[in-house]
Amino acid sequence: MSRFFFNDRKQLVNDAIEGMLISAPHGNLARLDIDPAIRVVVRADWDKSRVAVISGGGSGHEPAHAGFVGKGMLTAAVCGDLFASPSVEAVLSAIVAVTGDRGCLLIVKNYTGDRLNFGLAAEKAKRYGLKVEMVIVADDIALPDNKQPRGIAGTALVHKVAGYAAEQGKSLNEVRDMARQACDNLWSLGVAMQTCNLPGSDDEEGRIKKGHVELGLGIHGEPGASVVETQNSQAIIDTLVQPLLAQAGQGRLAILINNLGGVSALEMALLTKELAHSALKDQIAYLIGPAPLVSSLDMKGFSLSLLKLNAAFEQALNAPVETLGWQKPVVFAPLRTLTHTPLHDSVEFTPSANAQVAQHVAAVAERLIA
């Protein structure tokens, strides 16, 4: 059995959703009371007066997607089984539950199952008279010639931009266009030194050699694009930064530092330090994380996502939200230090010249030696 806490494998996702909802800090989340196989987390405070923003996909990427439901981000999240797209019926149930006259936007990661199921649900919803638009996120640059790049951690930034636009009362077309513009200015790349463990399956051994990392490993454990023969933090950051910088070019950037689930806080802090001294340092305006935002169960890896900023994106990223998983952006600045006088634990003294005391000390020392 894999190293994984669980009770009933078939109920694992349902149980996890319950735990997430009862611990939500704003108390603003609910689950649709419907077929247990349909797992839809919605805003409990939603009134359908604005454009709804819906996303989702396979579970195992927590806090995505339910952790981004709340004021200022997603209206609903549709949760599939582990690494499996939610059904058409589940997506359609979410659309019907939260969509009013203003319509809804679906934000979908670029995987075949998600595209098909969300797309079919959108077509069915349109037959019900609902206005539905869809945006596909394809931010992974691991394979430069790939005509269908995967959607990975940068999806969280699209959630934030679209959620802000919807919260401002913008029309469905305006929300869609802003989300598409974010997709067009978004690039992500990740590495891992160990893939993830799945509950109930045997541990995978030997795929990634010790001292090596896979570049471009997929968030479902798909093999990476290449192997890098180092664990050196500076070298790995440089390996990620070079292709990302080639895509982004010049301009101010917000950078999401995403923990894929199994990297310690100490290591993530170290990697953030390396990023702050990398070739991107003069272009970083905001850091988001380091934190798990779009994880891959317990994968020992991380990813970087770059969003090229404009005034609208900057406002969107910094707007407050009421969610479980979003991380507030931090304005990037060099390390601050405070000057402090060194402490000395030695005693400074001037030797005395007392012949009588010297004679006594010498006599005691001689007796002890004898």
For residue 30, list its beta bridge partners: 42
Give phi and psi for 194, each to the nearest 5.
Answer: -145, 140
Helix (H) or strand (E) holding 269: helix 265-276
Burial 251-276 (b: 16+ CB within 10 A, else e): ebbbbbbbbbbbbeeeebebbbebbb
Helix intervals (H) in 128-200: 155-167, 172-184
**Residue 195: CB partners within 8 Å, gap ≥ 6?**
204, 207, 208, 217, 221, 299
Q: Cβ distance 294 to 258 under 8 Å?
A: yes
Indicate which residue of 65, 220, 277, 340 is catalytic: 220
**Residue 45: CB partners within 8 Å, gap ≥ 6?**
28, 71
Which strands sit side by side in the sheet containing 300-308, from one edge to the other?
226-228, 213-215, 186-194, 300-308, 253-259, 284-291, 330-331
The DSSP letter of residue 255 is: E
Q: In angstroms, rounded to a whole number, what is the distance separating the alpha carbons of residues 295 and 299? A: 8
To the query of whether residue 340 is one of the catalytic residues in this protein, the response is no
Q: What angle do CA 287, 249, 336 make, to 5 degrees?
A: 30
Q: Cβ distance 220 to 83 under 8 Å?
A: yes
Q: Cβ distance 256 to 271 under 8 Å?
A: no
- CA 271 from centre of chain: 15
Burial 74-97 (b: 16+ CB within 10 A, else e): bbbbbbbbbbbbbbbbbbbbbbeb
The SS3 of residue 234 is helix
Catalytic residues: 220
